[in-house]
Amino acid sequence: MRARWVTSTKADGDFRVGLPADELAARRRAFVDLPWVWLRQVHGSAVVVVDADNWAAVCGTEADALVTASPGLALAVHTADCVPVVVSSPDGVIGVAHAGWRGLAAGVIDATVEAMEGLGTRRERLHIELGPHIGPECYEFGATELAAVEARIGTAAGLRARTAAGALALDLRAAVTAAARQAGVPVTALRSAPCTSCWSECYFSHRARGESGRMATVAWLS
Ligand SMILES: [Zn+2]
């Protein structure tokens, strides 16, 4: 089995949960023509384990990560600045997580890794990739919130960054890297992804432009 994933751009349309169901269903199928499994994301650490029997029933659950060992199901998270995280294993297990600073502070990466182990892989075998998210140069961040993130994942190098204007910033890629290492995933350097704020023609940005639209990051086993 192969793990595949893709993130939508503005050209693919808005995927935010709450749009008319038929409109959303048509857009989903046009983007990835598989049954979609989606969540009501709440910036927490709950993970839903999906399989061929429960996938329809779990849609709309309040959670921030999905994992499965079943092929042919499109696991989706929706973002506009937060990090869409895709975790895959050569043992035929995949996961997706919605990771903003609150989710990272709540332990969403750890919880996703744990749930994937429950499906028959090991954390040393996991591979992590990131979709488009807001870069530190555009992500001014409060000291109190930063301390909350560090309380969970430690004061890893690179976590505290600076915006282009020189203000305190959170580097979300460094934060996911630190969280993954803490969870026992042998991460070296995660490949960087485009900044949702810098690339406004391509991606929705809630933080930078107050947009309500959401991209979809979808992962599946084929
Ligand atoms: Zn940027």
Residue 188 pLDDT grade (very low, low, confident, very high; cuts 50, 70, 90): confident
What separation in Å is there between the alpha carbon of 197 and the centre of ligand 1? 5
Average pLDDT of span 135-150: 95
What integer pLDDT is reported at residue 140 of this predicted model?
95
What integer pLDDT is reported at residue 138 of this predicted model?
96
**Phi/psi at 87 (nearest 5 deg)?**
-120, 130
Q: What is the pLDDT of residues 52-75, one digit of tens each?
A: 999 999 999 999 999 999 999 999
What separation in Å is there between the alpha carbon of 10 and the centre of ligand 1? 17
Q: How many helices (H) and strands (E) does the chain have?
A: 7, 13
Domain ranges within the chain, ordered by starting residue = 3-134+190-221
What separation in Å is there between the alpha carbon of 104 and the centre of ligand 1? 20
What separation in Å is there between the alpha carbon of 38 and the centre of ligand 1? 27
What integer pLDDT is reported at residue 176 of this predicted model?
97
pLDDT at 157 over 80: no
What integer pLDDT is reported at residue 1 of this predicted model?
86
55 token code pair: 């996938």
Closest residue by Cα to residue 161 from 145, 182, 139: 139
What separation in Å is there between the alpha carbon of 205 and the centre of ligand 1? 10
CA 89 to each of CA 32, 124, 126, 175: distance values in angstroms, whole numbers, following the listed order:
21, 9, 5, 21
What separation in Å is there between the alpha carbon of 161 and the centre of ligand 1? 13
Residues within 5 Å of ion ligand 1 by Cβ? 135, 137-138, 195, 197-198
77, 41 Cβ separation under 8 angstroms: yes
What integer pLDDT is reported at residue 195 of this predicted model?
97
Q: What is the pLDDT of residues 90-141, one digit of tens each?
A: 999 999 999 999 999 999 999 999 999 999 999 999 999 999 999 999 999 9
What separation in Å is there between the alpha carbon of 157 and the centre of ligand 1? 20
For the domain covering 3-134+190-221, report its CATH number.
Answer: 3.60.140.10
What integer pLDDT is reported at residue 211 of this predicted model?
92
- Dihedral angle of Cα 192, 196, 199, 203, to the nearest 10 degrees: 120
